Amino acid sequence: MIRHHLSDALLTGYSAGTLPEAFSLLVATHVSLCDECRARLAAQDAVGGALLDRQEAVPMAEGALTATLARITGTAPEARPVSRPAPGLFPEPLRAYVGGDAEAVRWRPVGGGVRQAILPTASGASARLLYIPGGTAVPDHGHRGTELTLVLQGAFRDETDRFARGDVETADEALEHTPIAEAGDPCICLAVTDAPLRFNGLIPRLLQPFLKI
């Protein structure tokens, strides 16, 4: 049962297409898991569509339709049967970035058994997958901006609450915490940030430029 959801501001930004790519990836991945946020997003899309309907029509350039159809017919691939992906850990939006499910991730160690994989996204924010062994704590840190963390496997706790599969923790400059993965399965998360973290310990601060966190 998902207990921690996305804010209205994030859903509105996703619907309007104004979020950085990394944040859009997390929203799309969470919405794939969460019926509640998927319904709220549909309502946001409906509002956006109604607003567009009220706008004055803008005439198209002469020949625009012909040019568009030409591009479609010239580049569209041959239609093929669409097959559903096999069930797995990662929802489809995330699989497209990874190139498969969890076994396709190219993990890199960051210390203490923790591993990460930075995903390719446009500038403005960064996205990474985190693999945290059960019982392992992430160094205590604060934030210089916004950090969203979506749990894909396992669970973690911090000073605010417990977060399990499908839950999203939203952290801002007011939060300092020490996330700890629960015992059992490794905690795998998708984390996105729009600014570097603010680590309190010396060693994490020294390693930060190399780990790009």
- Whether residue 71 is contained in a domain is answered as no
In angstroms, how far is CA 204 from the centroid of its own chain?
A: 24
**pLDDT less than 50: residues of the chain:** 76-85
- Whether residue 144 is contained in a domain is answered as yes
What CATH number does residue 108 fall under? Answer: 2.60.120.10
**Distance separating alpha carbons of residues 167 and 96, to the nearest angstrom:** 21
176, burial (CB in 10 Å: exposed 0-12, middle 13-18, buried 19+): middle
- Whether residue 68 is contained in a domain is answered as no
- 204 and 112 part of one domain: yes
User: What pLDDT score does 86 carry?
Assistant: 54
- Whether residue 153 is contained in a domain is answered as yes
- Whether residue 95 is contained in a domain is answered as no
What CATH number does residue 38 fall under? Answer: 1.10.10.1320
Report yes or no: 27 and 14 within 8 Å, Cβ to Cβ.
yes
- 17 and 114 part of one domain: no
User: What pLDDT score does 207 carry?
Assistant: 65
Q: Which domain holds residue 152?
A: 101-211
User: What pLDDT score does 200 carry?
Assistant: 80
Amino acid at 6: L
User: What pLDDT score does 211 carry?
Assistant: 66
Split into its structural domains, the chain has a count of 2
Amino acid at 101: D
- 116 and 187 part of one domain: yes
User: What pLDDT score does 199 carry?
Assistant: 82
- Whether residue 70 is contained in a domain is answered as no
User: What pLDDT score does 140 carry?
Assistant: 87
User: What pLDDT score does 196 carry?
Assistant: 85
- Whether residue 74 is contained in a domain is answered as no
120: tokens are 């390719």
Cα radius of gyration (the chain): 20
